[in-house]
Structure formats: C-alpha cells, structure tokens
Amino acid sequence: MPTLTIDGREITVDPGTTVIQAAEELGIYIPRYCWHPGLKIAGNCRICQVEVVNPKLKFPCTIACNLMCGDGMVIETDSDEAKKARADVMEFLLINHPLDCPICDQAGECTLQEFSYEYGHDKSRFTEEKVHKSKRVQFSDQVSFDGERCILCTRCVRFCRDVVGNEELCLVERGDHEEIAVANGGGLTNPYSMNVIDLCPVGALTSSDFRFKSRVWFLEETPSACTSCARNCAVDIGTRWDKVMRLKPRENEHVNKWWMCDEGRLNYHYVNAADRLGYAYVQQGGKLVRTSVDDAVAMAHELIGKLPAEKLYGLISARLTNEEIFLAKRYLDQVAGAAGVGFLPRIGEGDDFLISADRNPNARGAGLIGVSAAKGLAADIKAGKVKGLVIFGDSFDHDEELMGALADLDFLVVMDYRLSETAKQADVILPGVTFAEKEGSITNIDGWVSKLNPALPPPAEARRNLDLLAGLLGRAGQDVPDTAEGVFRLLAETVSAFTDISYGEIFAASRQVATDAVVKAD
C-alpha cells in the first residue's frame, strides 16, 4: 500500500489508486471533465493537471486521473506550475467554444464556466474564426446535442459503451472537426440515455424535457427517491413556481450509484397535472360534492364503522411510505377490523441493471409490515363477500374486472392524490399527496431504506396522507405521532426489520432492513 504526500498531507492508499482518487479521500478537489468515478479512465481533457515534485519528471505537470499513486510520491495540486498548466488547457478548450452562455441551459451548473473563472486566463489570444459544428441535433426525443459546445470529454460515449453495453454514440471526423455522433445514423434508444445529460460537463447534451424551462439557479433542489419502481433510485427534485421541473439522479452507492432510467426521470408530470385532488368530496344525489377534509374524514370513519367487519376489505397501496402503510394497516386492523388487507401488484418490464419489474416502489416495505398482494378481490366483491372497500393511495382504472365490480359495493372510500376513474365512483374522497409532497421512508427490492422529502406543499386543501390516516385513527380515540419520524419510531417498535434503523440514518439509504423480519402481535 503506497504512502504519498499531497499538498503536504500524507496518505496511504490501496494499490491501483489514482492521484485524483487519493486527493478526493483527503477532501482535495482536482478539476476534471473526462474523469468520472463510474466510468473508465480516458485522460483526454487534461484539466486535472498536478505538479509531481517527486519523482522528478521531464515535464513537472501531468494529469491526476491517470497517474497511479506511488510510494514516496510528492504531489502539489495548487502550485504555480499546476495553475499554469490548467490555464493553458482551459485556453485550448475555449478556442472553438461559442459564447452561448446567455442562452445555454447548462449555465449555472457548467464546469466549463466555473473552471474558466477559477483556473483560466483572463483574456483570449485566439483571433481566427472558430470551427462551426452541428447545432440543435436531436439524438433522441429526450436528448439534444450542440456540437460546438462539446469539449470531447467522451463521457457520453463511454457511458453508452461501458455502462449500458451498447455503442450508440461514437466519435467522427479528426482534429478540430472531431465531434460526437450517433453511430450508424441511428438514435439514442437505450432506457438510460438521459444519463449522458448529467455526465456532460458543458451544454453540449441537454434535456429536451427541461430545455428552456428555467435557469437552474432558480430551482430548489430537494433530495428524495424515485418511486417509479422498486429500485428507489436516489434523486434530487428540482422545483420552481410550486411545480416539479425535473428529476436528476443523486449518488447512492447502495441503490443506483450515479444513474437512473429515463422512465423514472420523466415520471413526474403527474405531480403538476390538472386532475390533482385539492379538495375532499362526497357523493350526494349521484354527484361528487366538495366538502371539508375534516367532514370527509368523519364521514369515511362513520361509513366504515356501520359495516360488519367481515364484509370490509382494505387496499393499501405499495406506493405509500412505510409510515403510511403502517398507520393504514393499524386503522384497518385495530379500528375497522377488516377481514382482509392487501395491495395491488404492478408488474412491468425490468432489466438486470436498475429497472425493476415490480413497479410498486414499496412492495418490500408493505410485505415487512404485514401487507401482501391482494388476490381474488373482484370475485369476492361479485360474490358478496366484500361489501365495503377502503382504498388508501391507489386506483385500478385500467382493471376492467375490478372497475366492473364497484357497483356491487355498499360503499367505497378512496384516499388518493388525483381524481381517478376509481375515485369518481367513491362515496368519500380524501385528498392526499404524491411522493414530491411527503416525508417518509420506502424500502426497495433489496431491502435498502430510502427517505422521501417534501419538495412542494400539498395543493389547495389536500393534506399529507399521514395527517389523513391520523385523523381516522383519532376518530377511534387513537393518538399517533404527527411526524413521519415519530411514526417510524412506532413502526420500529412493532416490526423487527426496522428496529435497528435510525430515522436520521436513512437519508442516504445507508441502512438495510433485517432479513428475519417479524411483525409483533398487536
């Protein structure tokens, strides 16, 4: 294990560690364009120049991304030699770069801007005409390319080749006319194509979905998790004007590394949709009539209480948080005495990378808490075994069998975030929230627990699902904590899988549930 000195600080590292990685361990940031911890080394942008004091080199500076740590090596990352070398590299990179900053979507998070200010020269010596390249090229419906802004770091090419396993992107031409292109005249079709947008350190690859929506410095970024499938990729939710503007992957070594799929990234538009439930409704004379949320909670509790328990079934969505599922099950078990409780399975296409075939983000958590997949519900309704149905956070608009069975119910209570076709049939509708408006935890397919954080307030009079569930329990005289953290503590006392997990620790999905989970008897 070599021991070296970087900026006067000694460090011992594993064999094969590069200088840029060793500096990271010391908290020393070395600028980079082509280097990325999730990609193979290319060493072509040259901005990560450092001075090698010992052993002496013919040229004192070299790139840190491709330099292996050696025993006794002495490195200076902020010396005059290193600064000059970086300034020269910056001058080279900017020779043909257009002055697009005022109209470029990357402005505000562009490392070319940042490094030019921090490491570059204060003027340009280039007086010739710049090389003109392809502009506004659609690599796909979601990825736009501007060849003049590209600095040929090849992150996008290496991602497609080495991470996704195809060669959809390549380099064409030579010299100062070289640029990125889609191979064989095709397009970016892989389900992770939008990761190249995050990888691009400049404004060459931009999101067609986010393009020209907002300057990034106006966005509020909230760390959370994707709820499109059971992988629960760590994300940042970008919001402005009380709307979700974009989702971007956030690094999490246990769950998704640095990546996420395109489907999950774009699955946020429903949060901003016009069919969001902002108010509570009850059926009167065959029409939905708006009422106060408190009155709707009281009416729902009254309806549920009038029905014999053996005729009641509760659907608890596996899209809800661990805390919401826990309170919903407590109400259905302890208060309503429901004959059955389950969740609707949602299965799609998966792969061997990140996309899970299980499209419920919290089926694992639901199972640990004691809620399993519902079976034969439509048949039980048709047979008269189920006369009252309570749905917490779900709908089955496209399930013709279940939708057709609703007419045989005495009553239907729905808590959801949108006015779905299922909700329109309900006797009482309680307005809940989406993942972007709630706090809580979810458990992914491998048992890693992630945390959701609210990026937006609930619309109009809608309330957090936890508040609605606490309201129902309160009608039965049960007081429960009014925070997600408090409910999680209650959950941890009941379900052994969560006992050793601190709520504060799950922010980065750094804890995994126990495999021998036990739900204690009430």
* pLDDT for residue 49 is more than 90: yes
Q: What percent of the chain has a predicted confidence (pLDDT) above 90?
A: 88
Q: How far is CA 385 from CA 372, 373, 501, in A?
A: 19, 18, 40
pLDDT digits (tens, 9 = 90+) for 386-432: 999 999 999 999 999 999 999 999 999 999 999 999 999 999 999 99
DSSP secondary structure code for residue 390 in this structure:
E
Span between the terminal Cα atoms of the chain, in Å: 54
**Number of helices and strands (H, E) in the chain?**
14, 24
CA pair distance 128, 229, nearest whole angstrom: 52
Q: Name the 3-class secondary structure at 143.
A: strand
DSSP secondary structure code for residue 185 in this structure:
G
Strands (E) in 41-142, as ranges, are 49-54, 61-63, 74-76, 137-138
Q: How far is CA 195 from CA 101, 106, 114, 332, 340, in A?
A: 22, 15, 21, 42, 43
Structure tokens belonging to residue 435: 């993942």
Q: Which is higher by pLDDT, 292 or 505?
A: 292
Range in 112-116, 334-338, 489-493, 502-506 with the lowest mean pLDDT: 502-506
Structure tokens belonging to residue 467: 């508040």
pLDDT band at 21 (very low <50, low <70, confident <90, very high): very high
Q: Which of 428, 403, 411, 399 is nearest to 277 (CA)?
A: 428
Average pLDDT (371-378) is 95
- pTM score: 0.93
- HSE value, Cβ hemisphere, 13 Å, CA-based, for 332: 26
Average pLDDT (464-475) is 97
Q: Name the 3-class secondary structure at 372.
A: strand
Structure tokens belonging to residue 471: 């309201």
Is 340:315 a contact under the CB 8 Å cutoff? no
Q: Which of 274, 272, 305 is nearest to 428 (CA)?
A: 305
Give the per-residue pLDDT at 507. Answer: 63
Mean pLDDT of the chain: 93
pLDDT band at 350 (very low <50, low <70, confident <90, very high): very high
Q: Apex CA 395: angle with CA 349 and CA 366, to 5°?
A: 70
241 φ, ψ (degrees, to nearest 5): 55, 35
Q: Which domains does the chain have, with CATH numbers?
A: 3-94 (3.10.20.740), 130-272 (3.30.70.20), 280-512 (3.40.50.740)
CA pair distance 410, 334, nearest whole angstrom: 22
Average pLDDT (260-285) is 95
Structure tokens belonging to residue 422: 């299922």
pLDDT digits (tens, 9 = 90+) for 198-246: 999 999 999 999 999 999 999 999 999 999 999 999 999 999 999 999 9
Structure tokens belonging to residue 223: 């760390």
Give the per-residue pLDDT at 273. Answer: 94
Structure tokens belonging to residue 60: 């004192």
513 φ, ψ (degrees, to nearest 5): -70, 160
pLDDT band at 518 (very low <50, low <70, confident <90, very high): very low
Q: Name the 3-class secondary structure at 10.
A: strand
pLDDT band at 56 (very low <50, low <70, confident <90, very high): confident
CA pair distance 54, 76, nearest whole angstrom: 10
CA pair distance 347, 325, nearest whole angstrom: 20
